[in-house]
Amino acid sequence: MARGDVASWVRSQPRIFFSFYFSAPIFFPVMIWIWFLIITTFPRSSVHGVAASLAPSTLDNVTVAPIFVLDGHPIPGSWCECKTSADCICHGAGLFQIPSNLSATLKTLTVSNAGIRTLTATSLQPYKNTLRDVTFSNVKSLEEIEPGVFNNLKEIRSIRIVHTGLEKLPYFGRLETKAALHMIDLENNQIQKISSHEVVVRTDQLLLNFNLIHTVENEAFKGSQIAKLYVLYYTALYIIL
């Protein structure tokens, strides 16, 4: 193509093409800088030495996918997923406490195979007005549930804490609900003893099967309203009257 033909062709092109063609060396570096700025300023929260990058979870069908980092190394397989704004599942050894920024309308929370050792008193309080069903399953490192975890959960219907390292019954003393719970399931833990006045609950079912319970003290369930109580045990059971 002759030089004159090139000039004529350029003049015939739309102005937007002409501007983009000659500004590309500036355009692309700017876009790269904007991309870098976004990923480096994305909100992050710290969880007992674990950094979790969390996406907003206020809409339906939102997946919250934290990247858990311990000592500078990502821990694969640790995440929280919210199938809807009311139903979230958290999983993985890199999870050491319940994220406080899940959906504000959370109703069902399931935590499995997490690295939680102590469930702190404020763990569930961000969801106290909406939470109905909570499950901790196969959290083998869980050994302690602080008093107050279940305080003021007025909508709660079921609590399941199964296959954990828990050795002592959780405190339900200030679990004030509008109606009796459907179920409290504490099966397959390491609970060894039920002390006097330790259990004060209103529930259709209280399941304590397959623990290591060897002693039930006098008036252990005094003040409770329990329709069905299930206690299967592996060792000799002593009931102190």
Kindly state the DSSP code that residue 62 receives in the 8-state scheme.
-
List the pLDDT tens digit at each of the 241 positions of the chain: 555 555 555 455 555 444 444 455 565 666 666 665 554 444 433 333 333 333 333 434 444 445 455 555 555 668 888 888 899 999 998 899 898 888 889 999 999 999 999 999 999 999 999 999 999 999 999 999 999 999 999 999 999 999 999 999 999 887 888 899 999 999 999 999 999 999 999 999 999 999 999 899 999 999 999 999 998 866 556 566 5
User: Could you count the other beta carbons within 10 Å of the beta carbon of residue 70?
Assistant: 16
Angstrom distance (rounded) from CA 238 to CA 30:
74
Q: pTM of the entire structure?
A: 0.70
Angstrom distance (rounded) from CA 216 to CA 165:
20
The secondary element (H helix, E strand) that includes residue 74 is: strand 73-74
